[in-house]
Every structure is written in C-alpha cells, then in structure tokens.
C-alpha cells in the first residue's frame, strides 16, 4: 500500500486550493512512505470515476482524491466497478465532509494531509442505488433534501453550510408528504406517510456527527430513519407538544430500521427524487443494496503518532 499512488484532484474544490494541497500531500507521501506519485487534475464530472475505475489496471495500489463529498463519491463510483480495488483515501475539501467526520479525518485539509504520514486500514461499506450508482454517506428523500439538491456550488463556496440551511429552512413550510412503502431485507413491508427519509451508512449526516449515533462506516448495515407526517412542521409540533428534544422525536413520529437492503416505493413516484450524497439522484422506486467492506480505506493512525511516555 502507498507504493504507487494516484492523486485525483478536483481543482474547483477547497476554494481553488486543492491543486496546491496536492503538492503538499505528494511530499508527505514521498517522505513517509517512499511513494511514487502521479497527480491528475479533473477537467469535468466523470474524470474521477474513469481514472479510479482503471487505477488498479494502470498499476496503482492506492488512490487518494482531494475534493468535496462529490469528488469522493465519484472516485468511489469508479473504484467499485472493478473487482481488483486499490487502497482508498481522500483529503476533505467540501462543505460538509460527512465521510471524513465518520472516519475521524481532520476537517482541516492541511492537518488531514499531515495525518497521512501514519495510517492504518479500515473496511468501508458502500451503498449501491438501482444496481449502478454508488453512495458513501446518505440517501435522503423528502422536501428538505429536494430543496438542498438545488443549492449551487457558488452558494456553497460563498456561504458554507449556511447555504444548505437556508434552502432547507424554506422547505420547512412546504405542505408536501409522501405515501411510501419500504421493504427491508427480511421482506417486512412498512407503509407510512413521511416528509423525510434518511438512509445513512455512517453516523454523520449533513455535518451532524450524532445524527445516527449507532451507525458505523464498517457495520455492514444501512440505518434508516423516516419522520412520519405530512409536513416537517407537523412533526416538530408533535415533538414540542410532548416537550421532546427535536433530535429525540417520540417513537410514534419515527420509523427506524437497520437492514442490508431497502426497496422504497411511492404512489406518486414521479414527484419525488432522491438526494444521493447531496446531489440529485433518480426518482422512486429505489433499490438500495449494501456492499459490505467494499473498500479498504486509509485512516490516520493517531495511536502511533501520539508521543509515548513510560510510566
Ligand atoms: N475541473 C472541474 N471544473 C468544474 N467542476 C468539476 C471539475 N472537476 C470536477 N468537477 C465537479 O465538481 C463537483 C463538485 O465537487 P466537490 O464535491 O469536490 O466540491 P463541492 O461541491 O465544493 O463539495 P461539497 O458538495 O461537499 O460542498 C463534482 O461533482 C465534480 O464532478
């Protein structure tokens, strides 16, 4: 691992600093792992996927991308298309960086680069939508995820997480709800009216690291939370009437399931599109399959880098 490394760099990520960060990462890898490095800079959507797909055949044992969650997702999309998969890591440079939070990476790119000096490996579960589209963090359905999909890259660069908040806030007043049928890996069918469904792979969703506290990137399960009710306001009213913390909604307002598979269907399928890791995805029905331990991911080995004192 880390002998021949392909660095995939999205030059638009990290407020345009990704290319200069890639040179810092190159030095850290050469100095600490004697790596042979090739740096490739993406020109457009799809480059990261194509290069990651062919990386192992091109002689790379490790692929590291520098970019936001979109770049990470595109890279993973390429890696899983080949049965021979290189080691994988990334330097987080996006707005939310959920996978970085889940793996314990530093969210500061300069620190995350330094942390690549000492790494250990972990298993990373990946989600697959409709047999083809990979996801790394979350599939979300409902009025809030729909509105967030329209958040522009310009707004994200200018406003950071606030851009998502503003778009999501407007959606709170929408009167939409969806009649959904959710089938799990035990063939249990759950029917409900919902305004928000999240299917997460890790504990961190939308930058909230405790969103799914029991979920882990390597536990081999999807974690689904569906908020019952026609509008988000309905749900919040119900919670407040019961004096509940909004993040601990009463059980009757939530459906929670863990499963390796979900089929999600709706009566009004054309109305509802999925948000896949923050970007627009296909409409319902959605088939979600979990690819357990699909990738071997590099994780900072903080235990080794900490100073060691004898008692
Ligand atoms: N040279 C390029 N010019 C414009 N867009 C590019 C280029 N290379 C890649 N992209 C696209 O940029 C998109 C967004 O990239 P990325 O997710 O890394 O940044 P971001 O949008 O700032 O991150 P986040 O979504 O976490 O805020 C990716 O989907 C990718 O396809």
113 and 144 within one domain? no
Confidence at residue 119, expressed as pLDDT on a 0 to 100 scale: 97
282 and 229 within one domain? yes
Using one digit for the tens of pLDDT, what is the confidence trace for 208-253? 777 788 899 999 999 998 888 776 667 666 666 665 555 566 677 7
Using one digit for the tens of pLDDT, what is the confidence trace for 272-292? 778 899 888 898 999 999 999
Using one digit for the tens of pLDDT, what is the confidence trace for 4-56? 999 999 999 988 899 999 999 999 999 999 999 999 999 999 999 999 999 99
171 and 50 within one domain? no
> Which amino acid residue places its CA nearest to atom 1 of ligand 1?
43
- Residue 300 in any domain: the answer is no
191 and 265 within one domain? yes
Q: Which residue has the higher pLDDT, 218 or 164?
A: 218
- Residue 129 in any domain: the answer is no
Confidence at residue 304, expressed as pLDDT on a 0 to 100 scale: 46
160 and 67 within one domain? no
- Ligand 1 within 6 A of CB of 26: no
Q: Phi/psi at 144 (nearest 5 deg)?
A: -70, -50
230 and 160 within one domain? yes
Last residue of a domain, one of 117, 147, 170: 117
- pLDDT bin (cut points 50, 70, 90) of residue 166 is low
Burial class (CB in 10 A: 0-12, 13-18, 19+), 40: middle
- Separation of CA 164 and ligand 1 centre (Å): 16
- Separation of CA 70 and ligand 1 centre (Å): 6
Q: Report the mean per-residue pLDDT for the chain.
A: 86
ipTM for the predicted complex comes to: 0.95
> Which amino acid residue places its CA nearest to atom 14 of ligand 1?
70
Q: How many structural domains is the chain composed of?
A: 2
- Residue 302 in any domain: the answer is no
Residue 43 alpha carbon, nearest atom of ligand 1: 1
- Residue 282 in any domain: the answer is yes
Confidence at residue 204, expressed as pLDDT on a 0 to 100 scale: 85
Are 32 and 62 in contact by the 8 Å Cβ rule? The answer is no
Name every residue whose Cβ is closer than 8 Å to that of residue 244 and which is 6 or more positions away in sequence.
Answer: 250
For the residues 119-124, what does the mean pLDDT come to? 97
149 and 42 within one domain? no
Confidence at residue 217, expressed as pLDDT on a 0 to 100 scale: 95
- Residue 310 in any domain: the answer is no
Confidence at residue 252, expressed as pLDDT on a 0 to 100 scale: 73
For the residues 289-298, what does the mean pLDDT come to? 98
- Separation of CA 61 and ligand 1 centre (Å): 24
- Ligand 1 within 6 A of CB of 11: yes
Confidence at residue 102, expressed as pLDDT on a 0 to 100 scale: 93
Confidence at residue 173, expressed as pLDDT on a 0 to 100 scale: 60
Q: What percent of the chain has pLDDT over 90?
A: 59
279 and 163 within one domain? yes
Checking phi first, is residue 237 left (phi over 0); if not, alpha (psi -120 to 50) or beta?
alpha
Find the range with the poorest average confidence among 26-40, 140-154, 292-306: 140-154
- pLDDT bin (cut points 50, 70, 90) of residue 190 is very high
Pairwise CA distance, residues 83 & 88, whole Å: 14
Q: Which residue has the higher pLDDT, 172 or 102?
A: 102
Q: What percent of the chain has pLDDT over 70?
A: 78
Using one digit for the tens of pLDDT, what is the confidence trace for 46-88? 999 999 999 999 999 999 999 999 999 999 999 999 999 999 9
- Separation of CA 10 and ligand 1 centre (Å): 6
- Separation of CA 136 and ligand 1 centre (Å): 15
- Residue 150 in any domain: the answer is yes
152 and 107 within one domain? no
Which domain CATH number covers 10?
A: 3.40.50.10330
- Residue 72 in any domain: the answer is yes
284 and 151 within one domain? yes
- Residue 298 in any domain: the answer is no
150 and 287 within one domain? yes
Q: Examine the pLDDT at 198 and tell me if it is beyond 50.
A: yes
Give the residue numbers spanning the domain of 229.
135-292
62 and 185 within one domain? no
Q: According to the per-residue pLDDT averaged within each range, which of 24-28, 96-100, 144-148 is highest?
A: 24-28
Which domain CATH number covers 282?
A: 2.60.200.40
């Amino acid at each position: 691992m880390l002998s021949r490394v392909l660095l995939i760099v999205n030059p638009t990520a990290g407020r345009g600093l990704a290319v200069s960060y890639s040179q810092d990462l190159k030095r850290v890898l050469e100095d600490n792992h004697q790596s042979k490095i090739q740096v490739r800079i993406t020109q457009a959507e799809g480059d990261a996927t194509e290069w990651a797909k062919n990386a192992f055949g091109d002689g790379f044992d490790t692929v590291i991308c520098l970019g936001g969650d979109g770049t990470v997702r595109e890279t993973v999309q390429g890696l899983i298309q080949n049965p021979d998969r290189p080691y994988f890591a990334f330097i987080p440079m996006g707005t939310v960086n959920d996978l970085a939070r889940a793996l314990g990476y530093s969210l500061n790119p300069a620190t995350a680069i330094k942390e690549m000096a000492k790494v250990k490996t972990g298993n990373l579960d990946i989600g697959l939508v409709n047999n083809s589209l990979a996801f790394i963090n979350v599939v979300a359905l409902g009025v809030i995820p729909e509105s967030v999909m329209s958040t522009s890259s310009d707004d994200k660069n200018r406003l950071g997480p606030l851009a998502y908040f503003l778009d999501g806030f407007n959606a709170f007043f929408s009167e939409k709800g969806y009649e959904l049928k959710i089938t799990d890996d035990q063939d249990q069918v759950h029917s409900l009216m919902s305004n928000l469904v999240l299917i997460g792979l890790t504990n961190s969703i939308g930058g909230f690291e405790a969103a799914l506290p029991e979920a882990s990137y390597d536990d081999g399960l999807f974690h689904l939370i569906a908020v019952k009710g026609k509008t988000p306001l309905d749900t919040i009213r119900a919670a407040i009437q019961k004096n509940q913390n909004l993040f601990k909604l009463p059980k009757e307002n939530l459906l929670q399931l863990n499963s390796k598979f979900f089929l999600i269907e709706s009566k009004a399928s054309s109305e509802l599109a999925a948000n896949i890791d923050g970007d627009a995805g296909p409409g319902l029905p959605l088939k979600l399959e979990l690819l357990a331990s699909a990738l071997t991911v590099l994780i900072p080995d903080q235990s080794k880098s900490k100073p060691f004192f004898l008692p």
